[in-house]
Amino acid sequence: MKTVNIHEAKTHLSRLVEDAAKGEGFVIAKAGKPMVKVVALEEAPAEEPKKKRRIGFLDGQFFIPEDLDKALDKEIEDLFYGEHK
């Protein structure tokens, strides 16, 4: 495993990280003393893909009356203006 000093690691961090991701880990040393080891993360298990929403999956499950917009007119009017007799 390659050892690099802190200055070199700061200067070439992007390249070193790319190499580590490919499996070529490295050690960062300070004054010749190894401080940390950089290695690639283990491959995480793939997440299950989200289920696609199906358009129309409730088709035929509900009945919407033709006069839906008129169904509550009397009740709403009564709420605003009181009952008309």
| Chain segment 28-80, per-residue pLDDT in tens | 999 999 999 999 987 656 677 888 888 888 888 888 878 877 777 888 888 88
What is d(CA 4, CA 27) in angstroms, rounded to the nearest whole number?
6
pLDDT of residue 38: 93
Count of helices and strands (H, E) across the chain:
3, 3
Q: Per the confidence metrics, is the pTM higher than 0.75? A: no
Domains of the chain, by residue range, sit at 2-38
3 DSSP 8-state letter = E
Asked if 1 and 25 touch (Cβ cutoff 8 Å), the reply is yes
Name the architecture of domain 2-38.
3-Layer(aba) Sandwich (3.40)
Q: Is the pLDDT of residue 85 over 60?
A: no
18, containing H or E segment: helix 13-21
